């Protein structure tokens, strides 16, 4: 595949992947829900919201729209890892630059993931599929998670007695204390190269969310050097094991908790993850090119530990509304370091994303402070927009 061939990018929000693709020299067409202004300035794009009259995100409708677009290859992002049948439809008549449906079915099954991890000697929290009369250990703390969720949406604390009334498809997973982190790696089905480790920002009220909702990343995590080296070793071994066990290809992500000095996998995201733009910019590695080349069996020569020594910390946060708002003139937002920029005058409903904030600083802690300050600044620009 050459960079001149168009690639169709499909998912909930495709600005980041389109930006990484264009930066790597690829021609792309993007199809997502939002159709943000900076995505439209970057590449040809269509959105459910603006071009197909979609009132809410629907991956089935997105797939139908994708089938009307001509492109010899397709790459998907969130939330298609939860919809293997739709991925099969996306791939009809096209080269699939992503894990195929059979791989998605296996790696997103918590019981198959648990078996694979434990067979390799890796840690996985106790996880029980929610069924009527599910029995939970009262001596453990539990979370309830949707079976095919993402971004922490719908995750909540659960008591041991909650299992007796389980009717919605989901799992109960032991809740562990520790730093919530993620790893990104690129794989060729047999081997993997680790691209980065980040601390996840979860439930941060400064960015308009609570509970277990994902809202950003810090690169690297706020840990001392010795802990980072241990995490690096475990994450490399984990990426190799998952790749071999499930035949993962392209860029993938793993969410985990750093608990008592060990890595405990929470889930695998077998598609490009939201933290990649930090690695692409910070480590000067063309992540999208690595994703594409992996499907031809080529992996980059990249040493993450060496990259740390020459890179400042970086941070990313997604800012959500609390009350409904209207965007002001956003024509200069991109130049101010903002991404996923709403259109000038756009109405943004309560609890919806406004934009993405990006900062760099000497330390990840300083990045977090910078993200908070930038979030407060952007909030001051927004215009109240109460519903009629």
Predicted confidence (pLDDT) per residue in 259-280, tens digit: 999 999 999 999 999 999 999 9
Question: Are the C-beta atoms of residues 350 and 322 closer than 8 Å to each other?
Answer: yes
- 343: which DSSP letter? P
Report, as an integer, the average pLDDT of 219-231.
96
Of residues 172, 164, 160, the one with CA closest to residue 136: 160
Predicted confidence (pLDDT) per residue in 39-54, tens digit: 999 999 999 999 988 8
pLDDT reported for residue 166: 54
Alpha carbon distances (Å) from 130 to 107, 109, 112, 147:
18, 13, 15, 9
Q: Pairing between strand 262-269 and 170-174? A: unpaired
Question: Residue 203, class by beta-carbon neighbours within 10 Å (0-12 exposed, 13-18 middle, 19+ buried)?
Answer: middle
Alpha carbon distances (Å) from 377 to 245, 362, 383:
46, 21, 13
Of residues 26, 23, 24, 25, the one with CA closest to residue 7: 26
Residue 185 has pLDDT above 60, yes or no: yes
pLDDT band at 2; cut points 50, 70, 90: very low
pTM to 2 decimal places: 0.95
Question: Residue 121, class by beta-carbon neighbours within 10 Å (0-12 exposed, 13-18 middle, 19+ buried)?
Answer: exposed
Q: Which three-class secondary structure state does DSSP give residue 235?
A: helix
Report, as an integer, the average pLDDT of 120-145.
89
**Mean pLDDT over each residue of the chain, to the nearest integer:** 93
Q: Which three-class secondary structure state does DSSP give residue 83?
A: coil
């Amino acid at each position: 595949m050459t960079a001149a061939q168009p690639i169709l990018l499909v998912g909930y929000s495709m600005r980041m992947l389109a930006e990484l693709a264009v930066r790597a020299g690829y021609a792309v067409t993007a199809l997502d829900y939002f159709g943000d202004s900076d995505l439209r300035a970057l590449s040809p794009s269509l959105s459910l919201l603006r071009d197909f009259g979609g009132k809410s995100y629907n991956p089935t409708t997105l797939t139908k729209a994708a089938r009307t677009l001509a492109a010899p290859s397709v790459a998907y992002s969130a939330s298609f890892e939860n919809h293997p049948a739709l991925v099969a439809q996306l791939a009809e008549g096209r080269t699939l630059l992503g894990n195929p449906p059979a791989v998605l079915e296996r790696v997103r099954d918590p019981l198959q993931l648990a078996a694979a991890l434990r067979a390799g000697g890796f840690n996985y929290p106790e996880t029980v599929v929610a069924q009527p009369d599910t029995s939970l250990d009262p001596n453990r703390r539990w979370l309830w998670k949707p079976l095919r969720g993402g971004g922490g949406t719908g995750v909540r604390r659960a008591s041991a007695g909650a299992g007796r009334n389980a009717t919605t498809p989901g799992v109960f997973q032991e809740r562990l204390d520790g730093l919530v982190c993620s790893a990104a790696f690129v794989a060729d089905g047999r081997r993997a190269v680790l691209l980065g480790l980040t601390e996840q920002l979860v439930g941060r009220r400064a960015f308009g969310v609570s509970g277990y909702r994902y809202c950003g990343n810090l690169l690297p995590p706020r840990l001392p050097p010795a802990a980072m080296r241990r995490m690096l070793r475990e994450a490399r071994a984990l990426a190799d094991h998952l790749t071999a066990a499930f035949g993962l290809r392209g860029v993938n992500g793993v969410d985990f908790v750093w608990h008592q000095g060990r890595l405990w996998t929470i889930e695998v995201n077998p598609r490009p993850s939201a933290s990649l733009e930090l690695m692409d910019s910070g480590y000067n590695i063309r992540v999208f090119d690595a994703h594409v080349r992996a499907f031809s069996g080529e992996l980059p020569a990249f040493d993450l530990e060496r990259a740390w020594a020459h890179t400042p910390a970086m941070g990313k946060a997604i800012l959500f509304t609390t009350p409904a708002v209207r965007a002001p003139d956003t024509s200069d937002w991109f130049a101010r370091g903002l991404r996923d920029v709403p259109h000038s005058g756009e109405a943004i409903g309560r609890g919806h994303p406004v934009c993405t904030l990006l900062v760099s600083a000497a330390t990840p802690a300083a990045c977090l402070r910078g993200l908070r300050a930038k979030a407060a600044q952007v909030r001051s620009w927004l215009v109240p927009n109460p519903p009629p």
